[in-house]
Amino acid sequence: MSGARDLRLWHPFTQQGAEPPPPIVCNAQGVYFETQDGRKILDAISSWWVNIHGHSHPAIAEAVALQAARLEHVLFAGFSHEPAEELAARLGKIMPSPLRHVFFSDDGSTAVEVALKLAVQYWANCGRPQKRKIVALEHAYHGDTAGAMSVSDDSPFTAPFESMRFPVLRTDSAYCAHCPVGLARATCHIECLDKLAKLLAEQADEIAAVIVEPLLQGAGGMIVHPEEFLAGVRRLTAAHDVLLIADEVLTGFGRTGRMFACERAGVVPDLMCVAKGLTGGFLPLAATFTTDRVHDAFTGGDRSRTFFHGHSYTANPIACAAANASLQIFENEPVFERIAAIENAHAARLPAFASDPRVADARRIGTVAAIELAVPDAGYLSSLRPRLYAYYLSRGVLLRPLGNVVYILPPYVITPNELNFVYDVIRDSLAVAFPS
C-alpha cells in the first residue's frame, strides 16, 4: 500500500463532474442550513422530505445523545429494547387499529421491500403461491433498491436497470392535469380506476398486492390524487381479495394535513410503509405495518413460514429514541396548527400561479404545493431544472425541482413570512425559466 490518496465523495442523484462542488453545511437550526462559506440556506424541501419539526430540534438531539450513551445497538433478532417497545406503543396509538403489527427496517426503500415480500410470502403461506404479481401505478416512485425500483414507474432512474426489475402490472394514476382517460375532474367519475378494475377482475387469482403512494405521488411529479381514487383502490382490492400496500414514506407524519394520507380517504390498507419523517429527520428508520390477517399467516409450528428478512440495524435503539422524541413533539407542540398555517399560505399564494399561462398546473395537498411549468421538454431531465436549482440556491433557498415541477415541502416550523419569501423567489424564477 502506498501513501494517502484523496478519496472523492460520490453524491446521490448527482452527475459526477457535471455539477459545481456542493456547499459544505456545518450547522442547521429551524429551517436554515449554514454553510462553511457563511451562507444561510432556507430548506424548503425538508432535506429530501425527512425533516418535520425543524433541524437540530433540541429535544430529539438530547434523546439521541442520551440513548447513544446507554445502549447504542443490539441485534433485533432474539432481543428487544425499551426504545423499540416504546415506539411500538406510541405508533400503536396513531395507527389505524387494524394495523397491529410493525416490522422495522432502515429507510423508505427497505420498508417497501418488506411490504412486497410480506405480501408475496403471505399468499404462499396461505397455500396460494400463484398469487404473486404486484400492481403499481403509472408515475409511481417507491425507492431505489431492486424491488422498489420494479414497482416504480419507468423513468430515467430505472432505465439502466431494466434487466434487474421484476415485471409489474401497471395501472392508471389519477393525474388529473393530464388525465389518463381524457376526462375532466369536474365531471368525471374516477374512470381512471377502470383499468385497475379490469386487471383485478381478470387476474386477481395471480395478484398478491396493489401498491400505491396514497393521495400524493412524490418523485413522479408531486401528483395529487382525488380522495375518491384511493377509496376506489381500496374498494376494488377488498372486493377481489388482493392486499393493498400504502407507501406513506413521503406522506406520513402530517405532510398531507393528517397524520397519514390514508386517513383523508377513510382507507385502511393491509400494509403500510413509513420512513422519512419517522425520526423527525434525524436518523434512518423505517417501518412496515400490517394486520392480524397478514401477520397470522407467518405463525405456527412450521419454521418455513418465518419471514426470513432483516437488516443489521433493524430497530436501532438510537433511531427509535429519535422517533419517540419526534412523536412526543407532536404531543408537546402545536404541530397541526403549524401544518394548518402552511396550508393557508399555500391557499393564498398558489392561485396566482394557477392563472399564469407559463404554468401548466398548480396543485396542493396539506403542507405540499407544486407548480408544474409549461415547457416543451417536460419530465425529470427537463433542461429547466439545473437553471432553476442554481437560481434558487443563489437566492438562498433550497428547492429541487422535479424536472419542470417546482414544489414546496417545508419543515412544519417554517413561518408564514419565510414561506412567502419562498413563493416570491419562485415567482421571480419564472422570468429565469421563460426569458422574454
Q: How far is the CB of 107 from ligand PLP (least distance, A)?
A: 3
32-35, strands of its sheet edge to edge: 25-29, 32-35, 40-43, 397-398
Q: How many CB atoms lie within 10 A of CB 241?
A: 13
With vertex at residue 85, the alpha carbon angle to CA 333 and CA 284, rounded to the nearest 5 degrees, is 65
Scan residues 139-158 and list those touching ligand PLP (CB under 6 A).
141-143
Segment near ligand PLP (CB under 6 A), from 58-66, 75-83, 211-219, 388-396?
Answer: 211-219
Q: How far apart are CA 170 and CA 152, in angstroms?
A: 10
Residues 422 and 397: beta-carbon distance below 8 Å? yes
Residues 140 and 211: beta-carbon distance below 8 Å? yes
Q: Per rule CB under 6 A, is residue 118 in the interface with ligand PLP? A: no
Q: How far is the CB of 217 from ligand PLP (least distance, A)?
A: 8
What is the torsional sign of CA 250, 147, 269, 224? Answer: positive
Closest CA to 409 of 245, 216, 264: 216
The size of the interface with ligand PLP (CB under 6 A), counted in residues, is 14
Helix and strand totals (H; E) in the chain: 13, 16
Nearer to ligand PLP, 125 or 367 (CB): 367
Q: How far apart are CA 339 and CA 329, in angstroms?
A: 14
Nearer to ligand PLP, 43 or 213 (CB): 213
Q: How far is the CB of 247 from ligand PLP (least distance, A)?
A: 5
Q: Which residue is nearest to ligand PLP (CB)?
A: 108
Q: What is the DSSP letter of 279?
A: G
Lookup: cell for 387: 437553471
Residue from 218, 277, 366, 410 binding ligand PLP (CB under 6 A): 218
Q: How far is the CB of 368 from ligand PLP (least distance, A)?
A: 11
Segment near ligand PLP (CB under 6 A), from 66-74, 199-207, 246-254, 424-432?
Answer: 246-254
x/- map, 93-112, ligand PLP, by CB under 6 A: --------------xxx--x
Q: Per rule CB under 6 A, is residue 250 in the interface with ligand PLP? A: yes
Q: Per rule CB under 6 A, is residue 219 in the interface with ligand PLP? A: yes
Scan residues 343-372 and list those touching ligand PLP (CB under 6 A).
none
